[in-house]
Structure 1
Amino acid sequence: MQQKAPHRSNRERTETTRAALFAAARKLFTEKSYAETATPEIVAAAGLTRGALYHHFSDKQALFRAVVEQEAASVAEEIERATPASLSARDALIKGGEAFLAAMAVPGRTRLLLLDGPAVLGRAVMDAIDAEHGARTLRVGLAIAMREEAVKKLPLDALTALLSAAFDRAALAIEAGAAPQDYAAVLAAIIEGLCIDAPS
């Protein structure tokens, strides 16, 4: 006797549909760019209908934002995995920076988060997304380091913004073919320079 396929809940169907849309959209956005990707291509690649896309997202930009937020969350998760609580505040900042560069080396991430993201969603939206993910991990690490008197006490928001910009610039340069070790060394030296009683 033929077995019936297990009944899937609405939530499971929703998650499956969204996962298919995310995977198809990410591939096309990173290979072709946001501007060159049309919604019919996305739904065809996902094996879905345009109705399914518009049931979950109001338009292509909303889907793009969801993909960007997912990528930003993945970067933050990789940083957090690389910086367990057992590390000193100084080591956590350096290891976190290394983890950021490694996470941004995933093909397509610099385009999504640093190029198309600001162009499509605007700087303010991207800053807000970053503040919840990558920049949040940096801000928390700096705050802990200041509290433990491992780094100089400086305006936290300004320091986070400037260091975050330096890391983003490094990721773009590495994506363009620069030596990762050169940028990692300079960024580590910047962090060491902020440290109190930094080793010579």
Structure 2
Amino acid sequence: MVRRTRADMEATRASLLATARKALAQHGYADTSMDELTAQAGLTRGALYHHFGDKKGLLAAVVAQMDDEMDARLQAISDQAEDPWQGFRSRCLAYLEMAQEPEIQRIVLRDARAVLGGASPDSQRHCLNAMQAMISALIAQGIVAPADARALASLVYGSLAEAAFWIAEGADGTARMAQAAVGLDLLLRGLLVQPHQGKAS
């Protein structure tokens, strides 16, 4: 019996993830065949079940991978911003813009919602905690009006998530994105201590 090393196992998992991600982006969850997918990866269904449990588990793993990539992109926007408020605003806007990217739109915003019920509890907690930390810092700096940071984070995160779904669901995604951007500016300006100052522009 051939013993598989940890590196072999990780390589198998990575191959399945990469192949599944490509197939899900091209065909969607319902039309992605597990037999065709494992054949493309040069592996067996047994390998898929070992690493991911089933088709839904494979989708959840692909979504988790994409969530991590999206989070890294958003964090880079915050890190590169000229000031904290601009970083927060640009990060929120970038999240909505991602809803127009075909891969994210189909896998994260359509299939994950339909099959998995949306983002995982861990992903939601991570997003809320990150947003709460940013809002807390903005309150401490006198940029955002004093309020409960967790409550504000929940409201902003919920608004962004629903707007992203709305953008992804429509054939008129570009128009919806433009409308959502206007709404986002109105929403975020309401958080400011002095909403008519140049910081909001």
Count of aligned pairs: 190
- Partners of 1:94 and 1:69 in 2: CA distance: 24
* Alignment partner of 1:40 is 2:50: no
Q: Equivalent residue for 1:183?
A: 180
CA 85–24 in structure 1, closer or farther in 2 if over 3 Å, else same: closer
Segments of 5+ residues of structure 1 without an aligned counterpart are 1-8
- Residue of structure 1 aligned with 2:65, choices 47, 63, 70: 70
Paired with 2:101 and 2:12, the residues of 1 have a C-alpha distance of 24
Give the SS at the match of 1:196. Answer: coil
Unaligned runs of 5+ in 2: none
**Cα distance in structure 1, aligned partners of 2:186 and 2:72:** 24
Q: Provide the rounded CA distance (Å) in 1 between the counterparts of 2:145 and 2:121.
A: 25
SS in 2 for 1:159: helix
Q: Secondary structure at the match of 2:120?
A: helix
**Counterparts in 2 of 1:136 and 1:45: CA distance versus 1, 3 Å:** farther
TM-score between both structures, scaled by the size of structure 2: 0.80
Quote the RMSD (CA, aligned, Å).
2.5
1:60 to 19, 36, 55: 55
Structure 2 residue aligned with 1:147: 140
5 Å-filtered alignment, 1:159-178, equals 159-175=152-168, 176=170, 177-178=173-174
Q: Match for 1:129 among 110, 123, 130?
A: 123
Q: Does 1:194 align with 2:188?
A: no
Once the two structures are superposed, the pairs formed by residues 74-153 of structure 1 within 5 Å of their partners are: 74-84=69-79, 87-122=82-117, 126-132=120-126, 134-153=127-146
Deviations 1:42-87 (A, max 9, x none): 2123222112212322222221111111111111111000111764
Amino-acid identity (%): 30
Contact 2:135 2:149 in 1 (8 A): yes
TM-score, normalisation: structure 1? 0.80
